[in-house]
Chain A
Amino acid sequence: ILNVEQSPQSLHVQEGDSTNFTCSFPSSNFYALHWYRWETAKSPEALFVMTLNGDEKKKGRISATLNTKEGYSYLYIKGSQPEDSATYLCASYSGGGADGLTFGKGTHLIIQP
């Protein structure tokens, strides 16, 4: 069973500041890492699927990097805005006989105006 960890658990950031948080996962038998953004009462929104060591992906002010050798991914948000407030989830492919994702508990981000 995979163990996907996210830190910090929650984060308060001033509007306009940049921020980042971490997802760690077992580096052995790595297949793919997924990032989602989840606002309350909405569906989790897919941000990135990362597969290759050294991958760096960007979507607007949000970007992510991947290190499969050491088992971590960083999510960066540049110039935080109030609409960035959400829970950010990372998930890794479960492996074995399962075909679904193993999720971390998420980082709850609050942007303060």
Chain B
Amino acid sequence: GAVVSQHPSWVICKSGTSVKIECRSLDFQATTMFWYRQFPKQSLMLMATSNEGSKATYEQGVEKDKFLINHASLTLSTLTVTSAHPEDSSFYICSARAFLGTSGSRETQYFGPGTRLLVL
């Protein structure tokens, strides 16, 4: 159980275009979903937290107008990289959790397989 899918796994796009990444919890309801990114030789870095039906909470330094997050249902969250530029090239990965709020941080987060984005 607790499977999270992510689509697409790879995307190459031209500079200035927008890219949408989907994250789905397949067998549980994800009250909270997280988006992380990883640059080469770096750790996974939290970008934003989204609770179903609420606006996402972004980490410092992450532009909310550039990285649009929608969590409209309990099984789907999307991340849209708007007007992508080469510096946005990275590995993006989502995770999902069935619990709300800080008490849920003692619960497991289930990860998708990630999306590698290359902006030319």
A interface residues (Cβ-Cβ under 8 A, vs B): 4, 31-32, 34, 36, 41-44, 46, 49, 51, 89, 91, 93-94, 97-106
A99-B42 CB under 8 A given contacts A43-B113, A44-B111, A46-B109: no
A43-B4 CB under 8 A given contacts A49-B107, A93-B105, A99-B104: yes
Closest 4 CB pairs of A and B: A100-B46, A93-B105, A103-B44, A103-B43
B2: A residues at CB distance < 8 A = 46
Chain A binding surface, main DSSP class: loop
Chain B 2-17 interface mask (CB, 8 Å, partner A; 1/0): 1010000000000000
CB contact list, B9-65 vs A, under 8 A: 32, 34, 36, 41-46, 49, 57, 59
What's the nearest-Cβ distance from chain B to residue A25, in Å?
Answer: 12
Q: Please, how many angstroms separate the alpha-carbon atoms of A42 and B59 in the complex?
A: 26
A46-B110 CB under 8 A given contacts A98-B57, A98-B59: yes
A105/B36 in contact, CB under 8 A:
no
A97-B109 CB under 8 A given contacts A103-B43, A104-B43, A105-B42: no
B43/A43 in contact, CB under 8 A:
no
B34/A49 in contact, CB under 8 A:
no
What's the nearest-Cβ distance from chain B to residue A33, in Å?
Answer: 10
B109/A101 in contact, CB under 8 A:
yes
User: Which of the residues B49, B95, B106 comes within 8 Å of A49, measured between beta carbons?
Assistant: B106
- Can you list 30 A-B pairs with a CB-CB distance of less than 8 A? A31-B106, A32-B106, A36-B111, A41-B113, A43-B114, A44-B93, A46-B2, A49-B106, A49-B107, A49-B108, A51-B106, A89-B43, A91-B44, A98-B46, A99-B57, A99-B101, A99-B102, A99-B104, A100-B34, A100-B36, A100-B46, A100-B49, A100-B95, A100-B109, A101-B44, A101-B105, A101-B109, A102-B43, A103-B36, A105-B42
